[in-house]
C-alpha cells in the first residue's frame, strides 16, 4: 500500500539519518556489540540449531550475524541467503555454506548460485531502524514486507540491530509486520502486545520462543487441514 506523501518523506529522511548513524559507529564498538549479539543469539535461541534459518549478508554497517549462523549451522541448522528474483516479488532463499558458489545481486549483495531453495522457519532481519512496538523500518524497497506477507505460517522473526537504531515509532501501516524478537548489544527483547520487553534470562527466551513455535505449528496444521 502506498504511503502518504508526508510519511514517505519522513521515512526516507529517517533512513538516511539512521544509516549514517550506523556507519559512524567506531569499529571497536561495532566488534564488541556484534560479539554480544552473537552470544545472545546462541544463548537465548538454542532451538535454531534444528531449524532452517534465513539470514542476510551484512550491508551498510548492519549487525553481522554470520558468526551465529556458522555456530547454528555447525549444530545442525540449514541456513540460506535471500535473492531478489524479480522486482515486486517476495525474496527467495537459497542454501549457503562456507565456500558456496556466490554471485552479486541487487545493491551488489552476494547470494548463493546453484544451491537448493529453502523455505526458512526463522529469519534474521536487519532493520534500518526499529521501534518500541517491535516494528522495523527497511530500505524502502518492500522486499521483506512482501516476503513476510507471502509466508504462511510466519517464520520466527528476529531483528538484529544496534541500540543506536532504536526510535519511538516508525508509524506502522497496515502492511508492516512486527518482529517476534529484537536482539541488540543490550540484550534480547520480545515484541508483545505491550511493545518491546527485555528478557532477563535465557529460560524466558526459550519459553516465549517455544510458545511462538507451537502457535505457528498449530497454524500450519490448520492451514493444511483446510487445503
Closest CA to 79 of 40, 35, 37, 111: 111
pTM value? Answer: 0.94
Per-residue pLDDT tens, the chain, 227 aa: give them: 456 789 999 999 999 999 999 999 999 999 999 999 999 999 999 999 999 999 999 999 999 999 999 999 999 999 999 999 988 899 999 999 999 999 999 889 999 999 999 999 999 999 999 999 999 999 998 899 999 999 999 999 999 999 999 999 999 999 899 999 999 999 999 999 999 999 989 999 999 999 999 998 888 777 777 76
Task: Report phi then psi at 94, rounded to 5.
Answer: -125, 140
Helix, strand, coil percentages in the chain from 3-state DSSP, rounded to 5: 40, 25, 35
Helix, coil or strand: residue 175:
coil
Grid cell listed for 97? 555454506
159: left (phi over 0), alpha (psi -120 to 50) or beta: beta
Amino acid at each position: 500500500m502506498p504511503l502518504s506523501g508526508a510519511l514517505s518523506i519522513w521515512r526516507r529522511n529517517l533512513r538516511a539519518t539512521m544509516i549514517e548513524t550506523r556507519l559512524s559507529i567506531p569499529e571497536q564498538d561495532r566488534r564488541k556489540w556484534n560479539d554480544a549479539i552473537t552470544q545472545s543469539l546462541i544463548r537465548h535461541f538454542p532451538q535454531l540449531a534444528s531449524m532452517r534459518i534465513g539470514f542476510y549478508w551484512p550491508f551498510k554497517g548492519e549487525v553481522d550475524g554470520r558468526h551465529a549462523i556458522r555456530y547454528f549451522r555447525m549444530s545442525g541448522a540449514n541456513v540460506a541467503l535471500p535473492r531478489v528474483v524479480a522486482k515486486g516479488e517476495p525474496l527467495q532463499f537459497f542454501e549457503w555454506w562456507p565456500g558456496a558458489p556466490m554471485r552479486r545481486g541487487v545493491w551488489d549483495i552476494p547470494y548463493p548460485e546453484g544451491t537448493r531453495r529453502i523455505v526458512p522457519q526463522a529469519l534474521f532481519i536487519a532493520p534500518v531502524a526499529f521501534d518500541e512496538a517491535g516494528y522495523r523500518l527497511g530500505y524502502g524497497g518492500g522486499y521483506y514486507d512482501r516476503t513476510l506477507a507471502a509466508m504462511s505460517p510466519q517464520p520466527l522473526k528476529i531483528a538484529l540491530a544496534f541500540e543506536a537504531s532504536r526510535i519511538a515509532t516508525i508509524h506502522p501501516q497496515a502492511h508492516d509486520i512486527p518482529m517476534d524478537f529484537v536482539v541488540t548489544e543490550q540484550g534480547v527483547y520480545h515484541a508483545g502486545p505491550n511493545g518491546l520487553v527485555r528478557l532477563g534470562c535465557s529460560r524466558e527466551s526459550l519459553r516465549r520462543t517455544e510458545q511462538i513455535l507451537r502457535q505457528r505449528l498449530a497454524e500450519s496444521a490448520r492451514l493444511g487441514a483446510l487445503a
